[in-house]
Structure 1
Amino acid sequence: MSVNAMKPAKTRRPMSAWKATIAVAMSNYIEAGAIIALATSLSLWQGAFGFDDGMVGIIAALSANAFGAAIGAMIGGPLCDRLGRKFIYTYDLIVFMVGALMITFCTNLALLLIGVILMGIAVGAGVPASWTYIAEEAPSEQRAAHVGTAQLAWSIGPAIGFALAILVGPLGVTGSRIIFFHLFVIAAITWWVRRGLPESTKWKEQRAEEIRTGAKVSFFSGVAGLLSERKNWGALAFLLGVYGLWNTVAGQSGIFQPRVYEAAGLESATQQNLLQVLVWTLTAAATYFGFMRYGDRVSRRWLYFGGALLGVVAWVVLIFAPPGMFSLFTFAICWGISAGLGAQAFYGLWTAELFATKYRASAQGMLFMLARVMVGLLSLVFPVLLSSIGLTKLGLIILGLLVAALLIGTIWAPETRGKSLEEIEAERYGTKENA
């Protein structure tokens, strides 16, 4: 049979399917929103409850930005393969809403910490499920466009979060409580919309095949199957190099960027937040007009390279250029566009493409967990390092991570554009893994 004969006929994606994509992609808005809500309020909570910079690092490390999400991903990924994509994106938001309410009404450090951890676990469980579901349901010729919807939601979250921080800034801690409550409301609406969404077609086919053959499936089946196939090891290493290294930088940028701006000479909280609104607005624009428009039409290798290179340029300027508005605006523009075209969007796309259906979500969960652990380890010491060795020396670590991610993603970018998940699976494993 010819390759062309194997390809499914191109069909127009109905609006109802786009509705499902958007509803599931809201996990990424909520994830980013949770990180930014904490980033813009950590100093306020620190002042209200009187903890030191060491505790700031611990809270950040246990949040949706790091270890909290890592725990959720390691639980949610395998459950997503075992019980279905819908199971996770139906119930994870309930945990998220409980955490958001705890922070909204917290009266001490303990309640704040518990709420942060619960939100982190929910985010970690939900994001791998959303990336997997969207990619599985997307037409082959529009996969980047649909997966990019999750990245778009992830970009809009910080833009709105920082804008809200500016609006409620005069209210202090009360303003931060309002931001967390807004996340509760968004999560509740998203949960309600998701209740009527169908299960992933590919997961249902996979599950039917397992029932037909009498295969024994457990919580650990996805991870065991993933690690038992040596071809997956290279893909795991590649994606960890692309996303894990980049995200270690982005994770600090997301939650500690106000402190980085302060170290670079910008001390006004309002100006810091305005600059972040610019960063994330440009990220959203680059995602829509760049990744979503061209990810299915041009060389992904060079699209990735352009985005990754802009990220390196952004941090070189911020670290080494003379302090001032020129360097700050150059950073904001380059980093914003880079984040829209770069590692996270490609991670969501390539992770869905490079693994078989029966352990696709487990691979997402494992990679997301490892990436968040990497963020968490640096978050534990980032505030202390920033104040002790300064931005210039710390910046060398940042640049090393970004350059490594650039080289790994550019050199080993897979050629999967326009191919169905079944075709990619056949090429990688020699035969369809779930056959």
Structure 2
Amino acid sequence: MTDTITRAVVDKPWRMAALAGMASYLDAGTIVAVSACISRWQTMFGLTSWQLGFLSAALTVCIGIGAIVGGRIGDRFGRKKVYAIDLLVYIFGLAWLVFAVGTPMLFAGMIIVGLAIGADVPTALSLVGENSPTAMRGRLVTFTGFLWGLGPLVVIVLVLAVSGTGDLMPRLIFGHLLVLGAITWLLRRRMKESIRWRRTEQAGVRHLFNPTLLRTTLFTVAFYTLVTIGTNFYGSFGLYALEKVGGLSQSDALSASLIAVPVIVLTVVAMMRAMDTRARQPIFYVGAVLQVLAWLALLLVPVNATSLIAVFVAYGFANTLAGETHYKVWSQESFPTSVRSTAVGLSFGVARITSAIFLIFVPTLLRTGFTTLVVLMAVVTSASGIVGIAFRPRGQGEPIEAIDASLTN
């Protein structure tokens, strides 16, 4: 019965996962594009260290706000309704960045882009979770993580290809995202609404905080917030650290950062099938330990370009094993359809907004001392691993109908 419902909605689950998962591509690609362009913008518009921090924070905060609002809209009016407007808003925001002639246009573009892409993520993820055959849900949700890694890879390769174009470089990078956003919007118009959402009675936000769901709600918010603080530093200021702390030129920093991204992408591919089996538990344990060791290594070896590259590669690999991929699968298996998109939007939004506050101080920390930042990252990754091991959901692979029946009261 369950998979009959799924086939009634989508007969090409990988195509569905790819189109919905483009939210992750655009999310991660936008963050890394900002990281790649931030030094050029600093030169073009004379930005201070605090302005750099607030610029990245504006993007991250607005992604968070967009996720909270968009997630709720997705549960109230449908996942596809969100698709009807959010990518158009995203394209409009990118136009401000492509044609920016001053700092106000940069901030305006960041705000619009952040709100739009934030709204897309929770609804896209819920659509994949609800439309996937039960036996494939883990790998299809994990596939969005593949796209999350592919976005930065394409952006970095493109940056390297156009690095000699000077002030034109940021316009070309964000122009590529604008084109992909438009293509994705056109292709998504043929996607069908989640039949499981159509058959579900709506529930208020307070349902997330009833005795049945309170523990899971707090867990997903706490776990993903801790994970996001680390990944947002890595995504938003990894290049900046290689340049300012590692002493590399912009082009060399871009080339060095490219080493880690294929490792992340290949790790996600290797994990896909395992995410539908019990093997995903030991995978998480291994990653939780390795990501802490990666940061602690910087306290034991000289901090230079070589050690930074090695740690970023190790952290990217370990965090893939014990980070966002598990959060995405857990969030689909731990909430009923009536509030699934709201729950994802809440945890995603709180995580991004909290990490944005942290990001404001990162450029200054990079200038005044790198050790403090390393210790903070070791603490944050340790906490995410402990929370994940202690409070992760114990169920796995249940049909959506069974999840709804057990969690709706």
Q: TM-score, normalised by structure 1?
A: 0.89
**In structure 2, what residue type is equivalent to 1:123?**
I
Counterparts of residues 92-171 of structure 1 (less than 5 Å):
92-171=86-165
Residues 134 and 146, structure 1, Cα contact 8 Å, conserved in 2: yes
Residue 167 to residue 136, structure 1, CA distance change in 2 (3 Å): same
Q: Choose which of 67, 71, 91 in structure 2 pairs with 1:77.
A: 71
**d(CA) in 1 for partners of 2:309, 2:238:** 14
**d(CA) in 2 for partners of 1:325, 1:257:** 11
* 2:327 corresponds to 1:347: yes
Q: Choose which of 358, 364, 368 in structure 1 pairs with 2:338.
A: 358
Segment of structure 1 superposing worse, 36-45 or 165-174? 165-174
Equivalent residue number for residue 278 of structure 2: 298
Equivalent residue number for residue 364 of structure 2: 384
Residue 281 to residue 10, structure 1, CA distance change in 2 (3 Å): farther
Deviation at 1:11, TM superposition (A): 9.0
Q: Secondary structure in 1 aligned to 2:278?
A: coil
Equivalent residue number for residue 193 of structure 1: 187
Deviation at 1:362, TM superposition (A): 0.7
**d(CA) in 1 for partners of 2:176, 2:266:** 23
After superposition, the C-alpha distances for 1:140-193 in whole angstroms (9 at most, x for unaligned) are: 111110001111111000011111111111112211110000000000000000
Equivalent residue number for residue 49 of structure 2: 53
Q: Choose which of 355, 363, 374 in structure 2 pairs with 1:395.
A: 374
Deviation at 1:224, TM superposition (A): 2.7
**d(CA) in 2 for partners of 1:248, 1:336:** 13
Q: Secondary structure in 2 aligned to 1:193?
A: helix
Residues 333 and 397, structure 2, Cα contact 8 Å, conserved in 1: no
Residues 100 and 184, structure 1, Cα contact 8 Å, conserved in 2: yes
**In structure 2, what residue type is equivalent to 1:405?**
S
Residues 93 and 188, structure 1, Cα contact 8 Å, conserved in 2: yes
**In structure 2, what residue type is equivalent to 1:398?**
M
**d(CA) in 2 for partners of 1:94, 1:202:** 26
Deviation at 1:16, TM superposition (A): 2.1
**d(CA) in 2 for partners of 1:71, 1:14:** 30
Residues 81 and 222, structure 1, Cα contact 8 Å, conserved in 2: no
Q: Secondary structure in 2 aligned to 1:127?
A: helix
**d(CA) in 2 for partners of 1:265, 1:385:** 14
Equivalent residue number for residue 30 of structure 1: 26
Deviation at 1:17, TM superposition (A): 2.4
Q: Choose which of 202, 208, 223 in structure 2 pairs with 1:226.
A: 208
Q: Choose which of 257, 264, 268 in structure 2 pairs with 1:283.
A: 264
**d(CA) in 1 for partners of 2:81, 2:392:** 32
Residues 317 and 330, structure 1, Cα contact 8 Å, conserved in 2: no
* 2:393 corresponds to 1:414: yes
Equivalent residue number for residue 242 of structure 2: 261
**In structure 2, what residue type is equivalent to 1:419?**
E
Equivalent residue number for residue 246 of structure 1: 227
Equivalent residue number for residue 15 of structure 2: 19
Name the count of aligned residue pairs.
408
Residues 35 and 240, structure 2, Cα contact 8 Å, conserved in 1: no
Deviation at 1:305, TM superposition (A): 1.6
**d(CA) in 1 for partners of 2:89, 2:128:** 22
Residue 254 to residue 355, structure 1, CA distance change in 2 (3 Å): same
Q: Choose which of 39, 42, 62 in structure 2 pairs with 1:43.
A: 39
Residues 29 and 157, structure 1, Cα contact 8 Å, conserved in 2: yes
Residue 203 to residue 80, structure 1, CA distance change in 2 (3 Å): same
Deviation at 1:415, TM superposition (A): 2.5
Deviation at 1:87, TM superposition (A): 0.8
Residue 169 to residue 8, structure 1, CA distance change in 2 (3 Å): closer
Deviation at 1:266, TM superposition (A): 3.9
**d(CA) in 1 for partners of 2:167, 2:204:** 43
Deviation at 1:354, TM superposition (A): 0.8
Q: Choose which of 391, 403, 408 in structure 2 pairs with 1:424.
A: 403
After superposition, the C-alpha distances for 1:111-147 in whole angstroms (9 at most, x for unaligned) are: 1110111110011100111111101111111111000
Residue 308 to residue 264, structure 1, CA distance change in 2 (3 Å): farther
**d(CA) in 1 for partners of 2:228, 2:6:** 35
Residues 207 and 213, structure 2, Cα contact 8 Å, conserved in 1: no
Residue 41 to residue 7, structure 1, CA distance change in 2 (3 Å): closer
Residues 135 and 143, structure 1, Cα contact 8 Å, conserved in 2: yes
After superposition, the C-alpha distances for 1:65-123 in whole angstroms (9 at most, x for unaligned) are: x2010110121011000110001123110010001111101111111110111110011
**d(CA) in 2 for partners of 1:325, 1:43:** 18
Deviation at 1:328, TM superposition (A): 3.6
Residue 9 to residue 96, structure 1, CA distance change in 2 (3 Å): closer
Q: Secondary structure in 1 aligned to 2:101?
A: coil
* 2:255 corresponds to 1:274: yes
**In structure 2, what residue type is equivalent to 1:314?**
A
Residue 226 to residue 137, structure 1, CA distance change in 2 (3 Å): same
Equivalent residue number for residue 315 of structure 1: 295
Residues 140 and 419, structure 1, Cα contact 8 Å, conserved in 2: yes
Residue 251 to residue 170, structure 1, CA distance change in 2 (3 Å): same
**In structure 1, what residue type is equivalent to 2:110?**
V
Deviation at 1:263, TM superposition (A): 4.9
Residues 275 and 329, structure 1, Cα contact 8 Å, conserved in 2: yes
Percentage of pairs with the same residue: 29
**d(CA) in 2 for partners of 1:345, 1:249:** 14
Q: Secondary structure in 1 aligned to 2:259?
A: helix
